[in-house]
């Protein structure tokens, strides 16, 4: 069996743990939350959990990317922000991160100052970049559960193996 090439970076990166980062733009607060999500249902559950945790926020913009490479499922929502100013830029930053199986929610607490279309695009993109800069990464390794039926006398040698 050939040794794994350790010089090239792993291609199936996922968040190793949830992370959160916050930025302030003018008077608005943007809180970016990220977590691993192996399915669309897991991504939706994470989005719902963030919404429940911060129900008084103005917007909960989300983006998710399930899978890796050519076999990905993408999703994004502007959640009431002007079309194309929040979900799409957040998803673009997520796609450029190299991560898969990831859900990202940027929560906005409106500070009273309108940011305009360009300002919103920058703010949501910067919040996504802030959390991606701190999220721990791990290589996704395919795992399988196996069941092994053996005679009792072979239990100890098999366990040691």
What's the predicted TM-score (pTM) here?
0.80
For the residues 156-160, what does the mean pLDDT come to? 88
For the residues 69-98, what does the mean pLDDT come to? 92
The one-character DSSP state at 152 is G
For the residues 147-151, what does the mean pLDDT come to? 87
The chain-wide mean pLDDT, for the chain, equals: 90
- Contact in structure between 37 and 101 (CB atoms under 8 Å): yes
Q: Which residues of 72-87 are buried (b: 16+ CB within 10 A; e: fewer)?
A: eeebbbbbebeeebbb
Taking phi first (over 0 means left), then psi (-120 to 50 degrees means alpha), and beta for anything else, what does residue 80 get?
A: left
pLDDT tens readout for residues 96-105: 998 999 999 9
pLDDT tens readout for residues 23-35: 999 989 999 999 9
Q: Which residues of 127-157 are buried (b: 16+ CB within 10 A; e: fewer)?
A: bbbbbbeebebeebeeeeeeeeeeeeeeeee
pLDDT of 54 higher than 80: yes
- Contact in structure between 31 and 152 (CB atoms under 8 Å): no
């Amino acid at each position: 069996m050939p040794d794994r090439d350790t010089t090239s970076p792993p291609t199936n990166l996922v968040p190793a743990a949830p992370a959160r980062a916050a930025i302030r733009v003018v008077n608005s607060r943007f809180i970016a939350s990220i977590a691993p999500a192996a399915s669309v249902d897991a991504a939706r559950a994470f989005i719902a959990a963030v919404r429940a945790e911060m129900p008084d926020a103005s917007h909960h913009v989300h983006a998710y990317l399930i899978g890796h490479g050519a076999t990905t499922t993408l999703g994004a929502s502007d959640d009431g922000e002007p079309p194309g100013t929040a979900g799409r830029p957040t998803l673009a930053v997520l796609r450029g991160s190299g991560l898969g199986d990831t859900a990202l929610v940027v929560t906005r607490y409106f500070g009273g100052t309108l940011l305009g279309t360009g300002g919103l695009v920058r703010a949501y993109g910067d919040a996504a970049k802030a959390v991606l800069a701190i999220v721990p990464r791990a290589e996704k390794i395919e795992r399988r559960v196996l069941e092994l039926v053996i005679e009792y006398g072979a239990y100890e040698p098999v366990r040691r193996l």
